[in-house]
């Protein structure tokens, strides 16, 4: 068993750091070529909470609706073909608190049933195979599926102390999580790596104590890429590539200006307050932000990492609370910078397919829709 702790810097990789402005961009078309979802009408087109979606090898679209406890299947024109799943504890059923997040290695599609610590296995043709349960161990925290390796092994996230957070008001809580490897039957094999979580501060307000993440603090982001883990520190323009035994097999860095947290803190608080207007926790957060918080030196650079079938790595840049612009740095499979891209405003990116973006939108009435956009390389 190998336990590695990732450390990230901002120096250049082999060949030196590169600037985004020096490379050609990638363009996501601004108008979707397919939209699925309605405010009123057939229940199959009304979504409660879209959590994930993917496109199968034959072009069908699989959408996971966490609150409906369903995987809905649509053809390439957006016509509903059928659904899998319902609320329950049986095969191909989702327990309370489960998401239905989707993971695939090309030979199988896995749907997470976290509430019951199970995984539903589908064939590439989207037919249901079986439900498999995680083997639980006394000294191992609760497992959360995060990906599937080329050979079928499950990559799992487990939080220290089972995710329990306890402390006194004013106490800073700093902890880690582990990425573990399980086999395809749900039995644990080994620990891959340990990564730090965002620090939290126990804050008391109106007699209630809650652990709140320190604003403008970064947390490592990761993605499973076949037999590799792509890990981005979040607060530096650099990444590491790990084998599934935890060893580092590659690293890269590039030029990206960093912003000091102190320089944007007041504006961040203002925008956050506006974004929370009318919500029940707005007063708590206003009180929390008025405290002398231990801000990190630099604001985050990246808040997410996604992969596409072409091998590209998409790093989502940090956004201020009211900024609807979604910008990405795009790298090749080895972590070398290819360019920058902007995805449509108001659209949460669920997945990048081959030359396609699958996104989710929510309008002012709360209606959710699946949107598909073309992705292409910009013409010089």
pLDDT tens digits, residue range 212-241?
999 999 999 999 999 999 999 888 999 999
Question: Which pLDDT belongs to residue 141?
Answer: 87
Residue ranges and CATH numbers for the domains of the chain are 4-377 (2.120.10.30)
* pLDDT at position 11: 38
Residue 21: partners with Cβ closer than 8 Å, 6 or more residues away: none
> pLDDT value at position 194?
95
Cα pseudo-dihedral 26, 222, 121, 68, rounded to 10 = -80
Short-list 115, 122, 143, CA closest to 54 = 122
Look at residue 162 in the predicted model and tell me its pLDDT: 64
pLDDT of 19 over the 70 cut: no
Of how many residues is the chain composed? 380
> What percent of the chain has pLDDT above 90?
79
CA distance 327 to 303: 11
| Residues 99 and 51: beta-carbon distance below 8 Å | yes
In the predicted structure, residue 275 carries a pLDDT above the cut 70: yes
What pLDDT is stored for residue 227 in this prediction? 96
Query: Is pTM beyond 0.85 here?
Result: yes
pLDDT digits 0-9 by tens, 121-176: 999 999 999 999 999 988 888 999 999 999 999 999 998 776 678 899 999 999 99
Which range among 29-33, 215-219, 336-340 shows the weakest confidence by mean pLDDT?
A: 336-340
CA 172 to chain CA centroid, nearest Å? 25
Q: What percent of the chain has pLDDT over 70?
A: 92
Coil vs helix vs strand at 287: helix
For residue 7, name the pLDDT band (cuts at 50, 70, 90): very low
Contact at 8 Å (CB) between 316 and 326?
A: yes
pLDDT of residue 380: 58
The rounded mean pLDDT for the chain is 90
Q: How confident is the model at residue 199 (pLDDT cuts 50, 70, 90)?
A: very high
What does the DSSP assignment read for 198-258? PPEEEEEETTEEEEEEPTT----EEEEETTEEEEE-SSSSEEEEEETTS-EEEEEE-B---
The DSSP secondary-structure symbol of 21 reads: G
Confidence (pLDDT) at 98:
85
Average pLDDT over residues 32-61: 96
Sign of torsion, CA 186 189 195 196?
A: positive
Mean pLDDT calculated for residue range 297-310? 94
Alpha carbon of residue 297 to chain centroid: 24
pLDDT of residue 163: 62
CA-CA distances (angstroms) from residue 371 to 62, 124, 259? 13, 22, 33
Residue range 270-278: mean pLDDT, rounded:
94
Inform me whether the pLDDT recorded for 301 exceeds 70: yes
Is 60 exceeded by the pLDDT of residue 9?
A: no
DSSP 355: T
Burial 56-80 (b: 16+ CB within 10 A, else e): beeebbbbbbbebbbbbbbeeeeeb
In this prediction, residue 122 carries a pLDDT of 97
Res 263 pLDDT > 50: yes
CA-closest candidate to residue 155, choices 174, 181, 129, 177 = 181
Beta-sheet strand order (sheet of 50-55): 50-55, 61-65, 70-74, 80-84
Q: According to the model, what pLDDT value does residue 234 have?
A: 84
**What Rg value do the Cα atoms of the chain yield, rounded?**
21
């Amino acid at each position: 068993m190998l336990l590695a702790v990732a450390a990230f810097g901002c120096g250049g990789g082999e060949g030196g750091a590169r600037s985004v402005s020096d490379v050609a961009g990638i363009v996501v078309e601004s108008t979707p070529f397919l939209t699925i979802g309605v405010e009123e009408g057939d229940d199959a087109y009304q979504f409660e909470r879209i959590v994930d979606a993917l496109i199968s090898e034959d072009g069908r679209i699989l959408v996971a609706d966490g609150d409906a406890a369903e995987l809905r299947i649509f053809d390439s024109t957006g016509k509903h073909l059928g659904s899998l799943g319902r609320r329950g504890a049986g095969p191909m059923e989702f327990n309370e608190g489960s998401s239905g997040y989707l993971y695939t290695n090309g030979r199988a599609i896995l749907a997470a049933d976290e509430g019951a610590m199970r995984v539903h296995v589908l064939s590439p043709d989207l037919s249901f195979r079986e439900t498999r349960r995680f083997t639980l161990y006394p000294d191992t925290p609760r497992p959360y599926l995060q990906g599937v390796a080329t050979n079928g092994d499950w990559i799992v996230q487990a939080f220290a102390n089972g995710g329990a957070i306890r402390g006194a008001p004013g106490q800073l809580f700093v902890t880690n999580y582990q990425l573990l490897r399980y086999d395809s039957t749900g039995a644990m094999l080994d620990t891959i790596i340990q990564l730090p979580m965002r620090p939290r501060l126990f804050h008391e307000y109106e007699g209630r104590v809650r652990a709140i993440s320190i604003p403008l603090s970064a947390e490592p982001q990761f993605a499973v890429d076949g037999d590799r883990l792509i890990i981005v520190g979040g607060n530096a323009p650099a990444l590491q590539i790990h084998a599934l035994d935890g060893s580092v097999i590659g690293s890269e860095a590039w030029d990206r200006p960093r912003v000091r947290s102190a320089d944007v803190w007041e504006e961040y608080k203002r925008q956050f307050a506006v974004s929370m207007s009318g919500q029940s926790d707005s007063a708590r957060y206003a009180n929390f932000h008025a405290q002398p918080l231990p801000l990190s030196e630099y604001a985050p650079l990246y808040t997410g990492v996604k992969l596409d079938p072409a091998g590209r790595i998409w790093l989502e840049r940090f956004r201020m609370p009211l900024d609807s612009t979604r910008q990405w740095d795009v790298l090749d499979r080895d972590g070398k910078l290819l360019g920058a891209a902007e995805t449509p405003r108001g659209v949460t990116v669920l997945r990048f397919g081959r030359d396609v973006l699958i996104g989710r939108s929510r309008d002012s009435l709360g209606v959710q829709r699946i949107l598909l956009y073309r992705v292409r390389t910009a013409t010089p």
